[in-house]
Amino acid sequence: MKLYVCKNYDEMSAKAADVVASVITLKPDCVLGLATGSTPVGMYKCLAEMNKAGKLDFAGVKTYNLDEYYPIKASDPQSYRYFMNKNLFNNINIDIENTHVLNGEAPDTDAECAAYDKAIEAAGGIDIQVLGIGNNGHIGFNEPADELVAATHVQGLTESTIEANSRFFSSADEVPKHALTMGMAPIMKAKRIIILISGKGKHAALKEMLSGGITTKNPATILNLHSDVTVVCDEDAYNG
């Protein structure tokens, strides 16, 4: 793993944007795997600024997001589709038809998940996957468990994740109890992975991942099996 420890959130965001921008520059029709949550917001802002300044072109880029709550309407301000439109897609010159988020209203979730994995393969696979990490080590909504699931699937959210995400809702009761998430296989098949980690709350999960051990109780540790992972964290996350 390549590790960059940045002074603070803003430096982390700028560094991560540089890494993603370099992939787009070298391959203008690349496929990006994208993440939601508060961590990548600053990086998306930097990418939008590069785009506005004429330094980065998203016209040929395709995106696949990691996950979406279930059930949820795409138009719901809490949906990840809404988040992506607001924080990135509406602010860059991407063709919205080239942006993909799992359908939180899919009548047949198994069919939705299987079609998503097929579509990623058909697009040529993910060139760079952006990840955040949960306090409990989850990536996407692949939660700590005795077994992890390879394919994209429906996942019940753990109490700890519902609690962590309740800050975006008026109460924990309103957080959807399920999500559709890319499984470990499409994540690990990405040619390159960048994981952004900010804040003291992530210290334990980060430290465990960097220790090099692998456990399904901290799904991010599986990234130790991938040959091209860049970790961009801030000092709070690194030092605890």
Contact region for ligand PGA (CB under 6 A) — 4-12, 23-31, 36-44, 217-225?
36-44
Q: Please tell me the distance from the alpha carbon of residue 234 to that of residue 4, in angstroms, as a whole number.
A: 8
Q: How far is the CB of 72 from ligand PGA (least distance, A)?
A: 16
The answer to whether residue 209 forms part of the interface with ligand PGA (CB under 6 A) is no
Known catalytic membership, residue 8: no
Known catalytic membership, residue 153: no
Among positions 37, 137, 183, 186, the unique one binding ligand PGA when judged by CB under 6 A: 37
Q: How far is the CB of 38 from ligand PGA (least distance, A)?
A: 4
Q: Mask 136-175, x = binds ligand PGA (CB under 6 A)?
A: ----------------------------------------
Q: In b/e form, how buried is each residue of 94-111, taking b as 16+ CB within 10 angstroms?
A: beeebbbbbbbebeebee
Contact region for ligand PGA (CB under 6 A) — 112-120, 132-140, 143-151, 171-179?
132-140
- The active-site residue, picked from 65, 87, 103, 136, is 136
Radius of gyration of the chain (CA): 17
- The active-site residue, picked from 68, 143, 234, 236, is 143
Among positions 33, 104, 134, 137, the unique one binding ligand PGA when judged by CB under 6 A: 134
Q: Nearer to ligand PGA by C-beta: 58 or 141?
A: 141
Contact region for ligand PGA (CB under 6 A) — 37-45, 57-65, 102-110, 113-121?
37-45
How many binding residues for ligand PGA (CB under 6 A)? 6
Known catalytic membership, residue 138: yes
Could you write out the DSSP letters of every residue in the chain? -EEEEESSHHHHHHHHHHHHHHHHHH-TT-EEEE--SSTTHHHHHHHHHHHHTTS---TT-EEEESEEEES--TTSTTSHHHHHHHHTGGGS---GGGEE---TT-SSHHHHHHHHHHHHHHTT--SEEEE---TT--BTTB---SS--SS-EEEEPPHHHHHHHGGGSSSGGGS-SEEEE--HHHHHTSSEEEEEE-SGGGHHHHHHHHT---BTTBGGGGGGG-S-EEEEEEHHHHH-
Q: Nearer to ligand PGA by C-beta: 67 or 98?
A: 67
Known catalytic membership, residue 174: no
Among positions 6, 12, 133, 233, the unique one binding ligand PGA when judged by CB under 6 A: 133
Summarize as ranges the residues that interact with ligand PGA (CB under 6 A): 37-39, 132-134
